[in-house]
């Protein structure tokens, strides 16, 4: 059948301007006019015009219905010219799940170009949850997006305290900037898909120096008090076998983090095959405590492997005993039988093939926090990470060469200098010495020297001071 002439009826259809892609019609059982619109690349759209006529009369309301259909057609053409999809989006956040599905495809076991970690994906999900809390009108259509409201998100985030929404200002602007990175990525996705015509802008925040983004750490006295308290907590006899095991493991982990600078995630991912003897050590006393830890790329925060020199032999010996692994003296330290080498170092009680549960980590820290917060920590926000931070801070005070320190900790020299800069006011002499160490970086790079880190000397000083 050829194209009908203008205004010609074909059965129950009335074509608009001789265009078979757009017409109005009535169903046999209703007087309400409907419109049909074929949208290139998006399929068909059939909707009611809301205009009533007469079931048996094709003239009543027809022109009004045609006007509505025509306006919708012009709207579609205009949106296509802007590079937008024609179909109207019901809700502003309809596509968050789609966006997260795309992001999840980039998740990898460790950092590498173009990919993200599971933890990064979790954080991105959290960021978009915060956006929903800010833009509480979930029914807002994308085409009605209030860009001026979005512009003020950083201000709202930095000032708002809302217990009902579980919102409080972050400690640094860096956190807000990270949130904005995710939020901007979401709106870039919407624009790429053709759902919005432009991306939002936001209030500019002054980026803080890393130097001001300091993590809480323990003073030598606080560290001594905390370790003594945790040791007593771990050795408490009034517990179940599972609880006793969990506490002893956590205690060893805290000692491990503060002496080796391993991150929590790195500790979780360690396998016995990652622990080995340091053959460069010749001093008998050093050999008793010093060894090497190979931090694999897949468990490293940076995605880069590194070898850590650590004085924590006793810690791994205790962890081996807690895991019920017999010592194989025929094998090199840590004397782990061949069939146990791939086993995780930190495992669940009586389940050596399973990692220590997240709930155990969280509950253990909550118990430690209740014991120490009011007695030793006061207003400091101490976490697992603070143990690593404390160990690095002690080493800065003791004058450990910065290049060696940064390599052991798996972070940049600039970061070590800026983040741990707060010790200058406490020990100017130490800081001056660290700056002088820069002259020897090249020499150290060519001939890496052995680094043994221990806080025994620090604790001895504390004992002498306290008497």
The CATH number assigned to the domain with range 220-466 reads 1.10.443.10
3-class SS string, 91-124: CCCCCHHHHHHHHHCCECCCCCCCCECHHHHHHH
Helical residues (DSSP H) of 29-88, grouped into ranges: 62-81
CB 315 within 8 A of CB 252: yes
Element (H, E) at 464: helix 456-466
| Cα–Cα nearest to 270, from 307, 322, 236, 245 | 307
Q: What is the mean pLDDT of the chain?
A: 81
Q: Give per-residue pLDDT as tens, 434-461.
A: 444 444 444 444 444 433 334 444 444 4
Query: What 3-state DSSP class applies to 374?
Result: helix
Report whether 37 contacts 45 (CB < 8 A). yes
Angle between helices 241-260 and 358-372 (to 10 degrees): 80
- In this predicted model, what pLDDT tens digit does every residue of 24-59 receive, in sequence order? 887 777 888 888 888 877 777 888 888 888 777 777
Give the integer Cα–Cα distance in Å for 230 and 408: 26
> For residues 49 and 31, what is the distance between their CA atoms, to the nearest angstrom?
11
According to CATH, where is 1.10.443.10 located in the chain? 220-466
Alpha helices in 353-427, H assignment, sequence order:
358-372, 384-397, 402-409, 413-419
pLDDT digits (tens, 9 = 90+) for 338-387: 999 999 999 999 999 999 999 999 999 999 999 999 999 998 889 999 99
**DSSP string over 148-214:** HHHHTHHHHHHH--BTTTTB---SSHHHHHHHHHHHHHHHHHHHHTTS-SS-------PPPPGGG-P
pTM reported for the whole predicted model: 0.58
Rounded mean pLDDT, 323-332: 95
Tens-place pLDDT, residues 188-244: 998 888 778 788 999 988 765 434 445 688 989 999 999 999 999 999 988 899 999
């Amino acid at each position: 059948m050829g194209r009908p002439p203008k205004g010609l009826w074909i059965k129950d259809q009335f074509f608009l301007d001789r265009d078979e892609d757009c017409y109005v019609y009535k169903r046999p059982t209703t007087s309400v006019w409907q419109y049909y619109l074929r949208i290139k690349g998006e399929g068909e759209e059939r909707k009611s015009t809301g205009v009533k006529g007469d079931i048996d009369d094709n003239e009543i309301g027809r022109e009004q219905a045609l006007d509505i259909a025509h306006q919708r057609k012009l709207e579609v053409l205009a949106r296509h010219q802007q590079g937008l999809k024609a179909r109207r989006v019901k809700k502003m956040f309809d596509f968050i799940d789609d966006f997260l599905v795309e992001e999840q495809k980039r998740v990898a076991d460790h950092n590498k170009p173009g990919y993200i970690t599971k933890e990064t994906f979790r954080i991105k999900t959290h960021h978009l949850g915060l956006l929903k809390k800010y833009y509480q009108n979930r029914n807002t259509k994308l085409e009605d997006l209030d860009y001026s409201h979005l512009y003020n998100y950083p201000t709202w985030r930095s000032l708002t305290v809302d217990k009902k929404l579980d919102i409080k200002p972050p400690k640094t602007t860096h956190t807000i900037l990270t949130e904005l990175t995710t939020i901007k990525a979401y709106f870039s996705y919407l624009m790429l898909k053709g759902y919005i015509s432009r991306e939002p802008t936001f209030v500019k925040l002054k980026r803080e120096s890393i130097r001001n983004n300091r993590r809480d750490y323990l003073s030598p006295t606080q560290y001594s008090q905390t370790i003594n308290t945790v040791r007593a907590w771990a050795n408490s006899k009034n517990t179940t076998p599972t609880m006793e095991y969990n506490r002893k493991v956590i205690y060893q982990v805290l000692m491990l983090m503060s002496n080796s600078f391993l991150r929590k995630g790195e500790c979780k991912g360690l396998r016995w095959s990652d622990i080995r003897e340091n053959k460069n050590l010749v001093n008998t006393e050093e050999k008793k405590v010093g060894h090497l830890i190979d931090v694999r790329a897949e468990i490293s925060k940076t995605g880069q492997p590194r070898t850590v020199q650590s004085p924590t032999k006793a810690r791994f010996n205790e962890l081996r005993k807690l895991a019920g692994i017999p010592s194989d003296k025929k094998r090199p330290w840590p004397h782990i039988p061949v069939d146990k080498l791939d086993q995780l170092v930190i495992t669940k009680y009586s389940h050596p093939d399973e990692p220590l549960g997240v709930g155990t980590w969280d509950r253990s820290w909550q118990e430690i926090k209740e014991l120490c917060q009011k007695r030793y920590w006061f207003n400091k926000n101490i976490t697992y990470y603070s143990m690593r931070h404390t160990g690095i801070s002690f080493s800065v005070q003791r004058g450990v060469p910065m290049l060696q320190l940064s390599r052991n900790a798996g972070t940049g020299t600039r970061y070590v200098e800026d983040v741990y800069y707060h010790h200058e006011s406490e020990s100017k002499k130490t800081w001056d010495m660290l700056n002088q160490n820069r002259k020897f970086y090249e020499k150290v790079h060519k001939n890496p020297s052995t680094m043994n880190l221990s806080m025994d000397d620090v604790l001895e000083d504390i004992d002498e001071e306290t008497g």
